[in-house]
Structures are given as structure tokens and as C-alpha cells.
Amino acid sequence: MAYRVDEIDKRILYYLAEDARNTSTSDIAEEMDVTPATIRNRIEQLKEEDILRGYRADIDYKSIEGYVTYQFRCTASIPDRKRLAQSALEIPGVLTVQELMAGSSNLVITVVGADTDDITQTAHKLSNLGLEIDEENVVEDEYHTPYSLFGPDDVPKGPSLTDFMSLAGDAEVVEFTVSEEARVANKTIEQAVEEGLLADEMLVVGIERNGEVLTPKGRTVIQPGDVIALFSKTPLKKDSLEEFGTE
């Protein structure tokens, strides 16, 4: 029988994902109104169930002079995908391997090297394993956040801005994800304008949905999970995006 993760487990996972180093069992226990021993036991159980798989250091390798981090998207044959993923981890310089349920580009491999020659050597070793390298990119930075729905009630559940750009004059472009609780969710752009949810100075210039880019029209329905690109002729106020469920 599968282990059932309850609210205590979720809160543990949230705080460990947020900052495992400075998370104490006493703090979590006080919030959840249980004993620290209960939290310690739950942590051990989560480890035994292979739900909590470890505490990884967040290292910025590019801050070390000369070091670079690359991400390779590779294709492995379906029957060999798991074996090749494990073999790739044994190559010096490989940090992580993500196995994707896809026919192509089904392994995402992150590597680090002292210079580009190191990266090239690692790429050759990946090819020698039998992997086809489809794409490679320099990793500029990586950002992490805990899963907010496992957090306490005072943690914002709506998504935050994902991108922001100032244009000439006072114009701005912002990009964000529409939350489930957004007032504009499941309304057309026309309805949002008519109901005053979308100000006159704002214009929806792009919608990304399920990996596809849509051309916004008046009858386009704004759905939860849509990534919206919004143009504003004037600077956006702090509460301008509340109707989209954005903090």
C-alpha cells in the first residue's frame, strides 16, 4: 500500500525544500502542534519511502573562476533510457540527469567543467555511451522555490511575476501565470475589459498555453495556468495584477 502523505509531511517537505540547513524540527513541530520527536520520525519515514531523497548543496559553479555549467538534451532509446541515465551519472563532471517520458530529448544532463575543453570531453563521453546530443546550452543561473501548496496558509498560493521589462517612456511589459483564484480566469479578454478587470491602458499581447503560443483575440478565454504577456502604456501599480491572482 502506497504511503499517504498528510499535512504534517507536506509541511516538513516545504520547509526542507525552502532551507534544509536552517530548518529545525522544533519550529515545524510548534506550527503543526506536535512534538519534535514526531517530526523526526516523519522525516525518517519520508526517507524510507524514498520521498525525501536527500539534501543537496546549492553551488554556484560560475562564481569559481573559469568554471562553466552546461545543460545537454540527449536522446536515448526507450529500452536503454534508465540504464544510460545511470551510466551518465558515472561520468566525471556530470551533476544531474533528468529522465523524461518522451521519445526524443528524453535525458536532460547538467555538467560542470573547469573550462570549455572539459565540457567538450564530457560531451564526447556522453556520445560514446550511445546518447545522441540534440541540444546544448550554457546554464547562466538556476532558481529554486519550495512547492507553495505544501506551505502554511500565509504563503501566497498565487504565482508571482515571471518576467518584467521597462520600455521607452513609461510603458512596461510583464509576464506571469494566471492562478486558479484569478478573477479573470475562464473569462474572455472582452469580458475582462467590460467588467473592468483589465484596464484600458493594458493590452494582452501574448498567451502561452501547454507549450503553444496563442495570438490573443477578444474572444480568447483566459485560463488558469496561462502564461500571459501584458503590455501597459503606464507604470503598473502594486495592485494592478490582483485580478490575475498575481502577487
Please tell us whether the domain made up of 7-48 is placed in CATH 3.10.20.30. Answer: no
Which residue, among 179, 193, 166, 189, has the nearest Cα to 224 in the 3D structure? 179
In this structure, whether the domain defined by 61-138 belongs to CATH 3.40.50.10310 is answered with: no
- Whether 156-244 and 61-138 are alike in CATH topology: the answer is yes
CB 69 within 8 A of CB 139: yes
Q: Which residue has the higher pLDDT, 112 or 151?
A: 112
Least confident of 54-58, 95-99, 106-110: 54-58
Average pLDDT over residues 33-54: 94
The domain segmentation of the chain, as residue ranges, is 7-48, 61-138, 156-244
Dist. CA 165–CA 119, nearest whole Å: 33
From first CA to last CA, the distance across the chain in angstroms is: 39
Lowest mean pLDDT among 73-77, 126-130, 181-185, 192-196: 181-185
- Length of the chain in terms of residues written: 247
pLDDT single digits (tens) 192-201? 888 888 877 7
Residue 55, pLDDT > 50, answer yes
- The per-residue pLDDT for range 153-197, each reduced to its tens digit, is 766 555 444 444 544 556 777 777 888 778 888 999 999 888 888
pTM to 2 decimal places: 0.61
Domain 156-244 has CATH 3.30.70.1450: yes
